[in-house]
Amino acid sequence: MEISMYPATIPTVTRSLNNLINILEKGAAHAEAKKIDPSVLINSRLYPDMFPLGKQVQIASDITRRGVARLAGCEAPEISDDETTFAELIDRLQKTISYLNTFTPEQINGTEKKEIVLPIGKDMTMTFEGMPYVIYFILPNLYFHVTTAYNILRHSGVEVGKMDFLGKPE
């Protein structure tokens, strides 16, 4: 079975981002029910040298928005990293999903071998072909940051389970 680039990216990525929205909604409800200041959860991290929940969400948004834009040969809109509430983080993800849904299969399919030059830091770059960029960079990064966000909330007592991460079967 062969899969083209569009179904490997847009539906896959938007599904994970929608699942992350669901997880964040459960986090917000937990904070309200337990009378926990939501900023405590948003600023929680699994270990001192790891990014907090809010930054995990921002990175998931950035990796996918910028990644798909690179495949399509355009610049992704910038979103400032100033979210401090669950509602703002959810809004960021909804904006990212809306943006991703503007891409057509014609813009993404056929980019399997397209050269993608990814800036890393100030003076470095990584170069990928399109398909390896999706399967070895975009998707693993997305899953890492969504999983870490899930784990932060789960560790904080939010009742989320594997199906929240995976989403409902279609």
Does any domain span residue 86?
yes
Does any domain span residue 170?
no
pLDDT in tens, 62-75: 999 999 999 999 99
Kindly report whether the global pTM for this prediction surpasses the value 0.85.
yes
Does any domain span residue 167?
no
Confidence of residue 164 (pLDDT cuts 50, 70, 90): very high
- Find tokens 């990064």 and name the residue: 141
Percent of the chain with pLDDT over 90: 93
Q: What is the C-alpha to C-alpha distance for residues 61 and 55, in angstroms, rounded to an integer?
A: 10
Does any domain span residue 166?
no
Percent of the chain with pLDDT over 70: 99
Q: What is the C-alpha to C-alpha distance for residues 124 and 108, in angstroms, rounded to an integer?
A: 26
Q: What is the C-alpha to C-alpha distance for residues 119 and 136, in angstroms, rounded to an integer?
A: 16
Q: Which domain holds residue 87?
A: 5-160
Does any domain span residue 168?
no
Does any domain span residue 49?
yes
pLDDT in tens, 101-156: 999 999 999 999 999 999 888 899 999 999 999 999 999 999 999 999 999 999 99
Does any domain span residue 77?
yes
Does any domain span residue 87?
yes
CATH number at residue 135: 1.20.120.450
What is the number of structural domains in the chain? 1
Distances (CA, A) of 75 to 52, 69, 155: 27, 6, 36
Buried b / exposed e across 62-76, counting CB within 10 Å, b at 16+?
Answer: bbbbbbbbbbbeeeb
Whether 28 contacts 91, CB under 8 Å: no
Closest CA to 93 of 140, 24, 8: 24
